[in-house]
Structure 1
Amino acid sequence: MTPEELNEKLLEAFKEFQKNVKKPRILIAGPTGVGKSSLINKIFGEKVSEEGKGEPITASVEKYEREDLGVILYDSPGCEIGNTERFKKEVLNAIEQENIHLIWYCIAITGDRIELQDKDTIKMFVEKNFPVSVVLTHCEDASEEKIKEFKEEINNNFIDIDIYITSAKSEHKIFKEELERLILYAIQKLPDFVRDAFISAQKVNLKEKFKRANIAIAEHVAVAFGTGFVPIPVADAPILVGNQMIMIARILYIYDLDSLEAMLTGGAGGGIIGQLISALGKSIVGNILKLIPGIGTIIGGVINGSVASLLTTALGEAVNFSCYKLYKEILKGNKNIKKEMENFANMVKKFAKDFFKNNKKAEDYEIDD
């Protein structure tokens, strides 16, 4: 198989995975003007609600869905005085009709107090056992005392509810850590079948992307080992039919580098995924297969399940680490993406070589955010 043929197959696998991935459904609730759009932009790097009007689900809930965004978002403007019962009925109907997975209820800390309507709405969610988190917004100018007062008032009304302090303007470490905590809680609460999409869409917690990719690798290694001693022609070994294709597609999807580039450059993105796949095809065909110990002496020109799992692990970890490093460079403000892209194939080869020659595993590397 030529690098070009492999590129085509990898790109097909990526597009197919992206098309069929299951997305989480998140309701962002709270009064108009509390900063819901800013929260969405901060987490997902997308001005979702500014792309145009959402699809009305009820009079109180609008749905925002885009093919290129890994989450489906719902907006509720909050409960107005004198409209409580109708609001509750419409929101509950929307949650059940749309199978909402998570609720983030936003309260602006710029107010004098937490309004009764906010408490009533949160109470409704809690009583129905919906996974709801309270997000305090506009916290950059709030005093520690005021933040403490708001938290205490919420905790006095609701037991064991998660509260997060956020700011769309400040880059202070505490707000970054709070968003990371919000993302981690969401991952824990979401069903596993939508976690790939959520972790892909979020631009806050890079470490969770790395961890999710490792989970994907382990799943595909198990599949590779499960092939037992089914003969696989050496000529096809770099891709091992569908399993490694899907694994690579999942890892690239989890990092969502095209979207990250578009977010940071203000453009439409330069097609990083396509460039990565091209680099991968050349590296796999030209280098990685040769690194497998004893590949030249395999009897009968076939690869068994043990070797298949070894190759899957090496390939998966190499792609994961390389994507992680590339993501870090882009986040650091490195606009010379072309240069980093040129280094990508070399990074993949290096990490694969570390695995085969030096027996380095995922736990041997240090990662940070």
Structure 2
Amino acid sequence: MSLADKLDTTQIESNLAQEMNSFMKNLDKPNILLAGPTGCGKSTLCNLVFGREICKVGCGTPVTRGINKITDPDIPVTVFDSEGYETGADFGDGGQDSSQNYYGIITGFLDSQHDAGHPVDVVWYCVSAPSERITDADFKVIRAFQDRKIPVALILTQIDVATEETCETLKRISISELGENFRENIFESSIDYLNIPVPAGIKELHEWTLRQLPESRKESFIISCNKNFDQKFEQCLNYTKIAVAAAATASVSPVPFSDAAIITPIQIGLISKILTVWNLNQLEKLAGCVALDTILPSIGKSIAGNLIKMLPGFGSFAGAVINAGVSSSITYGLGYALSKACKEIHRHVLDGSNIDLNEVFNSQFANAVFEYAKQYKKDNYGNK
């Protein structure tokens, strides 16, 4: 019986679980503030952008009067949800207390977060399009963000129950008040997100937000969002490139004859990141199946089987070695094939359709790893 056939993944599963937990724990979380009048659809917008129910009724921990902090151990982002103010109370009328208090709550929160070393990275300011109004109170709060150099997006929400003329009027008023350059910061969203997979403006808001975030926090935002397939795949390719470079510079090593050693620490790290990006670390919660029990044996057997193909004499004599070319090539093949497989699984999970992991991680997966590895080795190492 070959090493590929008798692979015991118990230790590998333990190592991978530790690596995934460590990876999530050390991610730099972005801080996003939801702002705007009461009832303007802030929570709905948040759930739309992330493609999952982050903001739930009654969720969050109060951090100050009027602002709740929303966190989830499986989602590397921190959302601050403000309660808003009643739109009937504008700064220019006799009932200005509500909006004036809101302005004080927001500015006080921004300054306290900054002083504590946890500044707000991005603000999503929501205004209900069917309300047909954006007030001086809104503009004053938005300018407070601008004065503090905090990127702020204005989102016209609930556009599916507003006229196009109303939306255009609100945009025109906003640009007149905030300047022509602010045009690029205005987006739209629909309340009927269940029947509109990618509402107009949500994709653009996601991309805008990603551009505004500090480099160290972009990775977390990509992981937190569910429907950004292209960005997730690109992030996985970046992880793969880093792992390949590490494998290429690693010293020549003997062929492993223990189950736990068949997947190297470099590859364990790569696998953990790819699974996390595609939210497969939560697959048991999302789809009711245990991912690692199916995925790991297939990955381990694939690596062992491909070592046999790429190393003449592997398994037949002691002292065979895995050189940098073979190690980096198999790492590349693994990263690319796993990224594609996880993308397919993630798509099925979001669609609510059944997915048989055994069908995804079958002999075709092992063949894909080999073909990608073989091509990489040919392109980068020739016949070495």
Range of TM-score over shorter length: 0.7 to 0.9
Residue 300 of structure 1: how far off its partner (Å): 4.7
Aligned 8 A contact 2:341 2:360 in 1 = no
Aligned letter for 2:144? M
CA shift in 2, pair 1:6/1:170, >3 Å: closer
For residue 34 of structure 1, give the secondary structure of its aligned residue in structure 2: coil
Of 335, 349, 360, the match for 2:366? 349
Which residue is 1:3 aligned to?
8
Structure with larger Rg: 2
Could you say which residue in structure 2 is the equivalent of 1:145?
Answer: 165
Deviation at 1:139, TM superposition (A): 0.9
SS of equivalent residue, structure 1 residue 48 = coil
Q: Distance in 2 between matches of 1:238 and 1:245?
A: 10
Aligned positions of 1:103-122 closer than 5 A:
103-122=123-142
The answer for unaligned runs of 5 or more in structure 2 is 86-97, 379-384
CA offset at residue 54 of structure 1? 2.2
Distance of 1:213 and 1:323 partners within structure 2: 10
Letter in 1 for 2:161: D
Summarize the alignment of residues 327-342 of structure 1 with structure 2, pairs less than 5 Å apart: 327-334=346-353, 336-337=354-355, 339-342=356-359
Deviation at 1:85, TM superposition (A): 5.4
* Aligned twin of 1:83: 101
Cα distance in 2 between the residues matched to 1:27 and 1:341: 41
Secondary structure, counterpart of 1:71 in structure 2: strand
Moved more, 83-92 or 158-167: 83-92
Query: Are 1:35 and 2:41 an aligned pair?
Result: yes
Deviation at 1:203, TM superposition (A): 1.4
Q: Aligned-pair distance for 1:12?
A: 2.7
Superimposed CA distance per residue, residues 142-200 of structure 1 (whole angstroms, 9 cap, x where no aligned partner): 22222221222222222433111111314676953522222222222222332332212
> Quick check: 2:294–2:357 contact (8 Å CA) kept in 1?
no
Partners of 2:377 and 2:349 in 1: how far apart? 26
Q: Select the residue among 263, 278, 286 that pairs with 1:239.
A: 263
1:321–1:351 CA contact under 8 A, matched in 2:
no
Asked whether the equivalents of residues 30 and 107 of structure 1 are also in contact (C-alpha less than 8 Å), the reply is yes
Residues 1:163 and 2:180 are matched in the alignment: no
Q: Which amino acid aligns with 2:45?
A: L
Counterpart pick for 2:307 among 289, 302, 317: 289
Distance 2:146 2:299 in 1: 48
The worse-fitting range, judged by mean Cα deviation, of 140-149 and 79-88 is 79-88
How far 1:17 sits from its partner (Å)?
A: 1.7
Deviation at 1:360, TM superposition (A): 11
* 2:201 alignment partner, SS class: helix
**In 2: Cα distance, 1:341 partner to 1:192 partner:** 37
* Matched letter for residue 178 of structure 2: F
Decide which of 55, 63, 75 is 1:57's aligned counterpart: 63
Give yes or no for the alignment of 1:44 onto 2:50.
Answer: yes
CA contact (8 A) 1:41 1:48 kept: yes
Percent of aligned positions that are identical:
28
CA–CA separation in structure 2 for the residues paired with 1:295 and 1:129: 62
Q: 1:324 to 1:40 in 2, by over 3 A?
A: same
TM-score normalised by length of structure 1:
0.84
CA contact (8 A) 1:261 1:330 kept: no
Please, what is the CA RMSD of the aligned residues?
Answer: 3.0
